[in-house]
Amino acid sequence: MEKKTHILGFAGSLRRQSYNRAILAAAFEMVPDNATLGIFDLEGIPPFNQDLELEPPEKVRDFKARIRAADAILIATPEYNYSIPGVLKNAIDWASRPYGDNAFDGKPVGLMGASVGMLGTARAQYDLRRSFVFLNMFPLNQPEVMVPFAQDKVDGNGRLTDEKTRKKIRELLESLVAWTRRMKLSERVPATEELTAKSKG
Ligand SMILES: Cc1cc2nc3c(=O)[nH]c(=O)nc-3n(C[C@H](O)[C@H](O)[C@H](O)COP(=O)(O)O)c2cc1C
């Protein structure tokens, strides 16, 4: 049997009634049979201090270990002041350090976000995609999951009730798994003998 793709998800909001936690919870419910989704809570990660990067706090060590153990990453984020929320950027900064020990290196990543506004976190998502360049992550291009007017799509119990959005998240998960598998296949670097044989032949 093929090994399941293990995805690690986290939300860029600590709010208890967070719409982004709600869409991540919906993803958890809908994860395809060939994958698993573990959720990491960013609560408790202190502000980044480069003086501590060689001996990071336990929560950060745990976060980095969970990232390393995952085949792919899934981020659900709000947009704050047209960009990435500090809580999320801070966690990413910790996990990317010290230089040469970036836990995100080479990881496929899927993105989604919910906001109460009409652009559904578009600007935060594109800013994240810029950071993925330096982090050397491999973002899934599509589907883009931007959930505007989230207050109309999540009920009082934190359940995502909007069917169209649920379908989009299902598509995102399926595409992320397919993308991750594709990346894994291309990770198989040919042995030196294979390359020599090719150049001779
Ligand atoms: C500091 C702050 C800045 C915000 N800036 C934006 C913004 O730039 N664009 C937007 O669509 N919503 C913005 N909002 C509203 C968020 O979409 C809304 O608070 C949303 O519920 C946050 O996600 P959450 O429910 O997962 O916590 C902002 C909210 C806060 C608290």
Question: Is the CB of 80 within 6 Å of ligand 1?
Answer: yes
Report, as an integer, the average pLDDT of 2-9: 95
Specify whether the CB–CB gap between 159 and 115 falls below 8 A. no
- Whether 19 lines ligand 1, by a CB cut-off of 6 Å, is yes
CB atoms near residue 172 (< 10 Å): 22
Site to probe by mutation for ligand 1, drawn from 18, 80, 81 as the one with most ligand atoms within 8 Å of Cβ, is: 80
DSSP conformational letter for 154? B
For residue 179, with 0-12 CB atoms within 10 Å meaning exposed, 13-18 middle and 19 or more buried, which class applies? buried
Which H/E stretch holds residue 164?
helix 163-186
Coil/strand/helix, residue 2: coil
Nearest residue (CA) to ligand 1, atom 16? 115
Mean pLDDT of the chain: 95
List, for residues 28-38, the tens digit of each pLDDT value: 999 999 999 99
Tokens 């709600």 found at: 22
Q: How confident is the model over 113-166, as pLDDT tens digits?
A: 999 999 999 999 999 999 999 999 999 999 999 999 999 999 999 999 999 999
Given a cut of 70, is residue 193 above it in pLDDT?
A: no
pLDDT (tens digit per residue) in 87-108: 999 999 999 999 999 999 999 9
- pLDDT at 2 (0 to 100): 80
Residue 195 token pair? 């390359």
pLDDT value for 201: 54
Give the per-residue pLDDT at 197. 67
Q: Which residues, 6+ apart, have CB-to-CB distance to 139 below 8 Å?
A: 108, 109, 110, 111, 129, 132
81 lines ligand 1 (CB under 6 A): yes
